[in-house]
Structure 1
Amino acid sequence: MKAKDINPSENSAEANRIRLQLLRSLMNFVHDEASESKIFDFGFRKLAEIFPDFQITFSKRDKLDKPTKHILETPLLINKMIVGVLRMESSNAHSWTDFEKLILCDLADYLSLVIRDRRSLERARESEQKFRQLAENIQEVFWMTDPAKNQMIYVSPAYESIWNRSIESLYENPMSFIEAIHPVDRERVIAALPQQASGTYKQEYRICRPDGKERWIRDRAFPIRNDQGKIYRIAGLAEDISDQKAYETKLKEVQSIVVSNAKMAALGEMAGGVAHEINNPLMVILGKLGQLQKWADENNDLKANIQSHLDSIAKMVDRIAKIIKGLRAFSRNADLDPMVTSKLSQIVTETLELCLAKFNHASIELRFDEGQFEIEVDCRPVQISQVLLNLLSNAFDAVQNLENKWIEISARKVGKDRVQLAVSDSGRGIAKEILVNILDPFFTTKEVGKGTGLGLPISQGIIEAHQGRLWYDEKSSYTRFIFELPCSKKI
């Protein structure tokens, strides 16, 4: 039966059979190797078999012509946009039937699907190619797993060069990378794995390679969600940071040397004051001993006076012991000392023993209320003493030539678990153009040979290592540095 003999209202079964046969023919013809033009040609031939009296054409345009008795058109739609127009044209005036319209729409719909799918597939292939080009040429390891870590979906080739293990071994056992993690770091990394689903996973750890070498890895991960918002992939990026870690280690070694040199410079700077500090008590001791000897020779009934002098001698000896203890503590490396619970009053008092004579000799008033410092902190006392000594030394240099010269140490509790210590002096503050560089290493406003420019940066590093912070108080009318520490967690 020819299409022109079909009346859809009277023979819809035959009409549907022809429509279904057309779609089956198109579906059987379409395959991965068939181009869009070949598919169009095939569709036109099949349509011509159904409608041999009409001319069938396709044009790439985004609107339809005005319908006439000679022309029937239908659009090809992709994402609701017209990408082309199918046309059937009759040489004579023709009243277009519903069947003819349905067949033309069927072909247009199917070709629209083919074009959309082909273009989507082409974009997907291009995206995949770009992704592989990127993943296979970056130095980092890009990886992707299922949320349960049961399947390694993808791992980039850099894995083999960094881990010195085959990619196939990781595909076979996605958790095998755990075996490569250094035993010291392994438990921490395993405990952090659940963070991958929240996007907060970021770990640095060492791996042990089969060739015996160790490498440092920085590993990050984030979740990938499907259209329903459910996590169905975990993707990550692991990079080799061994060179960076080696540089950091070397930098710490250099900083340790610099800190040691800075300590020695500070010790040399206060050597004169220390000598004076020790010499004076010794002179008192010698003088009191001479008096005791003389009184003992002249009168045996002076026990009370002798006892008083003995107490004075004991006090001076105790002072000498504190000074020597402070010097010995300050001159050694405290970086590896454990955190201990200490009273700020003891740290401040022992620090002042090292510089009190220097302040007195320069007629600098020292303001210090020991009652403010009855607060305990978990710290390395030697390092906190070093910070205080540096701030006091800077304050001394700033005020020693002023007419009104004083230095004040104060403390106050902030909130429930923080304490602030402030070192203020009678100077009129720091100029803004200098302030921007005040914490930069090797920046100093002192004369050549008097300052290293390392005191404040080192102090800042020490305080930050104690989970605190150090800053210059720009609101103060005088020169004022503050550092903040967490109070002791010990109840």
Structure 2
Amino acid sequence: HAGARAIREGGQYTATYRLVRPGGEIRIVHETARIFLHEKTGVPLRMVGTTHDITEKRKAEETLRESESRFRELAENISEVFWIRDTREGVLLYVSPSYEKIWGKSCETLYRSQQSWMDSIHPEDFGRVRAAAIWVAGGHYDEIYRIIRPDGATRWIHDRAYPVHDEHGEIHQLVGTAEDITERKNLEQQILRAQRMDSIGTLAAGIAHDLNNVLAPILMSIEMLRPRLADIRSREIIELIGSSARRGTDMVSRVLSFARGLEGTRAPVAIDRLFDDVARIVAETFPRHIRLVTELGPCLHAPEGDMTQLHQVILNLCVNARDAMPGGGIIRLRAQNVTLDGNASPENPPGSTGPHVHIRVEDTGCGMPADLMEKIFEPFFTTKEAGKGTGLGLSSVAAIVKGHGGFVTV
């Protein structure tokens, strides 16, 4: 049709078409021709043109399109960020869609300004990464760093780059991958904590044995002093000391049992007695401007448990409440029977069922930011100053309560 139209109207035409050779082979050709017409009659006089065999070129183009299609399919479906940078022009040629998922920013913002990549890097890692980036043009780049997403979340990134050389052996591009390794980092931290806890357990067993030797003469002295005390107040104080010392020996016994892999003795626990013991210690040891109030529901169940461990749980929570009220305030201990229906909720995360005793510890302190709430049960996490907290109090509370078949909510 292109040729017929050119013959009718004159002028130039181009066409690409397939032809079949005598042997049946199909070739693709590109033809360009010009038609010359008679000046007076307009009759076609001659045609001058060229025909080029472009079969191999078409095959190469098709192969390239397939290669690009496979590349995009791979780059756009992997979890890592794949990127290509022109080192001569200093421009970003390509970044895969995973960038939006990991960085929380659109790819378009990165194409507009490569500085947005650097702007996301955590301030503590920024200087190191910027220094390493100087060597990127030489193809030497392998860094692990943190980024801060627009939503405030922190992610760990493993970023690597590899040089691409041209026909003269010079680097003209860098291709790289940026992998989100946050989960791996979290797992490494958990392993380190487990190793640290294992070491602490071994150390605690030795300390517990020595502490037993320290408590023994205290208990013996109390028995010797008791008959010599005439006034009631002195006897109350000596009884408190004796009670605390005996509780200390029970706790030491628990540490030794834990180190040996033994379970503690469990029996029905009277919640009112538990509260009375804690209230007595609070009254004698806490500042006078902190007041403890207890509220007990009717006919409380007596759950099976380790009295010493549960005493430790309540006392730990009261100590935390005390520390949250440096100016004084009220701590409330409440207990009541509840029957859980098995439906998971904020008040019943694991979806427990059946009769339970609900113990609530409240204070009138300053409270806690929401971003810290998720971390408070992690071992060694503390908001207190160095030397004023180990970060093991609440993690111990959660472990003991879970070991008794319960759960803790904040």
Q: TM-score, normalised by structure 2?
A: 0.40
Higher strand share: 2
Higher helix share: 1
Pair member with larger Rg? 1
